[in-house]
Amino acid sequence: MLLRYVSVLGEAPMAFVILIAAFAFSLLVGLAFHEFMHAYTADRLGDPTPRRFGRLTLDPRAHLDPIGSTLIFFIGFGWARPVPVNPMNTRNPTSAMATIAAAGPLTNLAVAGLAGVPIRLGLVPPLHPFVGTGLAEPLARYAAQSPDNMLGLFLGTVVLLNVLLAVFNLLPVAPLDGFRVAVGLLPPELARPFASAERWGPGILMLLIFAPFLTGGAVNPLYSVLGPPIALLLDLFAPGIGRLSFG
């Protein structure tokens, strides 16, 4: 992701710094706060497991995964260390697990909403770095033209990455949060067979992720499923962020 911007480092160093800062901020807040809220919610519901494992903290070092957290700088996607929980310590394990799982993605949406306020108010332009290689240079130049543009790039990156994290994690496929949410919300007669398919989740998820690469881009189920809700949320939090133009 950021490698395509190395070529503009000499011309627009501040824009490159803003990109690095936005990705780092999104990583620290988007991933670390996501996991902290899992831990906090479990603790509030009566499960002491996250506290025992030292995860009830805002210190990002307790939550970030060395590989998964680094990948977000290069491919715009990554992960943190899962928070260990034991819903059996709560009064209602099934609903508690759903609540704990939902806390992470909802936190990402809250971060995206807050970061998008200046964009919604028209104070800064709606920019983000997820553009084609041919647009990377004009984006960097445009962002470097003024402090408002650079702030728009910073906030737009935070909005986009947090929306992506939230929507992706809400997929009802194990080991993502959406799987636990679905198990907790489905009626018992549907929840039981659905939960029994958990062992197939990682394989299904990998197939969904790599389908575009295996089919030369002809099949992209994740884009088909996640594209509409992502577009809806981006338009809600940062109107115009999906329609970039530079001049």
Alpha-carbon separation of residue 35 from 2, 70, 209 (angstroms):
25, 16, 22
Query: What single-letter DSSP state applies at residue 220?
Result: -
pLDDT tens per residue across span 132-174: 767 777 887 788 889 999 899 889 988 998 998 899 999 999 9
Tell me, what's the pLDDT at 22? 77
Q: What is the pLDDT of residues 182-233, one digit of tens each?
A: 999 999 999 999 999 999 999 998 899 889 888 988 899 988 999 999 999 9
pLDDT at residue 53, as a whole number: 96
Name the nearest CA neighbour of 177 among 83, 91, 76.
83
Active site residues: 35
- DSSP conformation letters of 14-70: HHHHHHHHHHHHHIIIIIIIHHHHHHHHHHHTT--HHHHTT-SS--GGGTB-HHHHH
Q: What pLDDT, in 10s, does the model give residues 27-56?
A: 777 888 999 999 999 999 999 999 999 999
Give the pLDDT confidence of 3-12 residue by residue, as tens digits.
Answer: 666 666 666 7
Q: Is the pLDDT of residue 246 over 50?
A: no
pLDDT of residue 6: 67
